[in-house]
Amino acid sequence: MKKEIKKVLDDAKRYLVQQESLFGDEIILPKQSSDEPKQSPVEKNVGDEQFGVDPSWVESKTLNELETKIRNCVKCPLGKTRTNFVFGVGNPNSEIVFVGEAPGMDEDLQGEPFVGRAGQLLNQLLASVGFRRDEVYICNVLKCRPPGNRDPLPSEIEACSPYLVKQLEIIKPKLIVSLGRFPIQTLLKTNAPLSSLRGQIFEWHGIKLIATYHPAAALRNQQWKRPLFEDLRKAREILYQK
């Protein structure tokens, strides 16, 4: 018994030392214990008829219902400049969801996430680790394209991210793969740099969450392609481990 207690304390110490070396004073791994009351992760009703959104979107039971209720959203200025609302694509029952940042030009024109160059690399990487694009689900933090592909603004993330949260709540995947810094920072509510989060497995509302590089970053910087591939391989292993 004494030995077991010592092992638990040693493990806890190792964990805290590791966390401190990664994040300083900031602790960003609040695992939800299973006996905590289960709360809907959608925190607030951003729906508002005046912004083209059916306020009952928060009660949506399916992705189709959700999309229909929010696709005319003009809650932030991107709603006025977009060509298409880019909701998400793939298997609504997928055990794995890939979350990117925001639609680019190709995605805005076609209304589908990850169809441009970054999307082609993502498709190749998915295939190389054994996933078919049509068996997984792919979406973004923002549903509308920021002009000129600039970074999403905090106000845009605040307005749009509840839709992502609702998508995840409906799909209930076993694993979320965050592509790039915006999805992981949004879901974990942290400003920690991607370099300190990448490759790690977190938990978000009882769902495993792994952070990796964005495929567009791997196109710009070839040295990130292999770690991205390794992270996707790890995602596959996590999903299919017994």
Cβ within 8 Å of residue 142, ≥6 positions away: 78, 101, 102, 103, 152, 156, 157, 160
Residue 119 or 162 having the CB closest to ligand URA: 119
Q: How far apart are CA 224 and CA 155, in angstroms?
A: 29
Nearest C-alpha neighbor of 93 from the set 171, 174, 165: 171
Closest distance to ligand URA from the beta carbon of 216 (Å): 6
Nearest C-alpha neighbor of 165 from the set 49, 74, 54, 40: 40
Build a one-symbol-per-residue string for 29-68: x at contacts with ligand URA by CB under 6 A, - elsewhere: ----------------------------------------
Build a one-symbol-per-residue string for 203-222: x at contacts with ligand URA by CB under 6 A, - elsewhere: -------------x------
Closest distance to ligand URA from the beta carbon of 17 (Å): 34
* 154 CB burial (10 A radius; 0-12, 13-18, 19+): exposed
Closest distance to ligand URA from the beta carbon of 240 (Å): 26
Residue 58 or 63 having the CB closest to ligand URA: 63
- Rounded to 10 degrees, what is the CA torsion of 135, 138, 108, 78? 150
Segment 83 to 142, residues that bind ligand URA, using CB under 6 A: 100-104, 107, 113-114, 116, 118-119, 140
Q: How far apart are CA 222 and CA 170, in angstroms?
A: 35
Closest distance to ligand URA from the beta carbon of 178 (Å): 10
Q: Which residues are at the interface with ligand URA (CB under 6 A)?
A: 100-104, 107, 113-114, 116, 118-119, 140, 216
